[in-house]
Structure 1
Amino acid sequence: MHLHEKYLPRHHFSERHALEIGAPQAQVMAAARGYRPDGDALFKYAIAARELPMRALHRLQGRSGAPQPSFGMDNFTLLEQRGDEELVFGLAGKFWQADYGQAGIADGPSFLAFNAPGTAKLVLGFVAQPLDATHTRLVTETRVFCVDAEARRRFAPYWYLIRPVSGLIRRRMLAAIGRQAATRATS
């Protein structure tokens, strides 16, 4: 059983992408674990557009201080890593809200136990399959489970709105991980 199946055996929404990378499995997994979208302009613009209502409301309400930091990989919790084969991150909350409604998840067991009404749980998993000594197939799968009907009703329109951009971001993520891993392989 893959880790994403362990943490979300049932799900309502999912997305899967894969890429063959010219690097050994260990380097691919290290690049996946260390991935940060900081240099990806599309990611920055997509998140800025997504967070525009929250930031505008923050200003209109005259709140002091900076609004919450932009969404990124630091919002995810590492749930588990299985050697150089698999890695899974988790997130929980009300993602359709302007501020994401994110719930604090400390680790894998707390993610499994999380069951707050009106929320959704998301896993972002990576599976690295060696093709030979110098090539690896990296698969990423995102799964979302809505805890109840209310969460599913609220999350569904959000998913269909963000899914095209999310898919593009996932493919760009794989390409960036591939470049990073290939650079390590030739160093």
Structure 2
Amino acid sequence: MMEQESRAADLLGDRFVPNPHFSLVRHVIVDAPVEQTYTAARALDLTEIHSGLVTAASRLRALPARWRGRHHGPPRRPTRLTVDDLAAGSDWVLLGEHPGTEFAVGVAGKFWRPVVTWRRVGPAEFAAFAEPGYGKLVLTFGVRPYGPHRSLLTIDTRVQLTDPPSWLKFRRYWRVAAPFAQLAHTALLRAIASDARQRTLAAYHRPDGD
């Protein structure tokens, strides 16, 4: 019990971006226990997130990069993109994890540019990274018990800028991007909750001994 309380107090978002300049936090109550909900979050395949404006916004956001690389053929689209795939094959890193409770991924970049300049920063350097001209983004997934058979799923997005000019640029960008970020959160929450319920039903109907 004391260990769980200690982990609850030690939020990964507070460790890596304790004082965000911009943040977005969303919660949903999931009809599944913590174990299934956390497993669903950890196994989330981002290529399966298709939600109206979110998909359209993602495609629009990618147009400058596609236009810049038009002479090199169409961009390769991943067939699967879990958190582990993201950390292994991109500038994103898995910053930390409280197994069964919370994990966080992060990246640095110039997010306000039409073609984003990404910067891979390791977990040990992330909190202190302050190179001018960049922002730091941390995305945290947390799962807590909500009664004996349900769980509270939280997605916490935090952004911290490294200097005042970057803060001004990101603020202008955020005015446009914030509604799409909210839609993305909704799509992620729904996908995880749906998978968690399916995992719970499968476990409930599994024959004894299997």
TM-score normalised to structure 2 length: 0.79
- Which consecutive residues of structure 2, in runs of 5 or more, have no partner in the other structure? 1-9, 203-210
CA distance in 2, matches of 1:79, 1:176: 23
- 3-state SS, counterpart of residue 117 of structure 2: coil
Matched, 1:175 2:201: no
Q: Provide the residue aligned with 1:87 in structure 2.
A: 103
Once the two structures are superposed, residues 86-126 of structure 1 have per-residue CA deviations (whole angstroms, 9 ceiling, x without a partner) of 111111110112231110133x2132232221000011112
CA distance, structure 1, for counterparts of residue 112 and residue 77 of structure 2: 17
Q: Give how far 1:50 is off.
A: 0.9
User: Which runs of structure 2 are paired with 1:1-187 in the superposition (5 Å)?
Assistant: 1-42=10-51, 43-59=54-70, 63-67=71-75, 74=86, 75=90, 76-106=92-122, 108-187=123-202
User: CA shift at 1:51, angstroms?
Assistant: 1.2
Partners of 1:68 and 1:116 in 2: how far apart?
31
Shift of 1:69: 5.7
| Structure 1 residues 68 and 7: alpha-carbon distance in aligned structure 2, compared to 1, 3 A threshold | farther
Change (3 A) 1:176 1:10: same
Rounded Cα–Cα distance in structure 1 between residues aligned with 2:118 and 2:67: 19
Q: How large is the Cα RMSD of the aligned pairs?
A: 1.9
Contact 1:116 1:147 (8 Å CA) reproduced: yes
User: Offset at 1:16?
Assistant: 0.8
Cα contact 2:107–2:138 (8 A) shared by 1: yes
Q: CA deviation at 1:151?
A: 1.1
Q: Give the fraction of aligned pairs with identical amino acids, expressed as a percent.
A: 30
Q: In the alignment, is the contact (CA less than 8 A) between 1:38 and 1:44 conserved in 2?
A: no
Instruction: Read off the aligned partner of 1:64 and give its amino acid letter.
Output: H
Q: Is the 8 A contact 2:37 2:196 kept in 1?
A: yes
Letter in 2 for 1:84: G
Aligned partners of 2:66 and 2:74 also within 8 Å: no
The TM-score normalised by the length of structure 1 is: 0.89
| Number of residue pairs matched by the alignment | 182
Task: Tell me which structure has the larger Cα radius of gyration.
Answer: 2
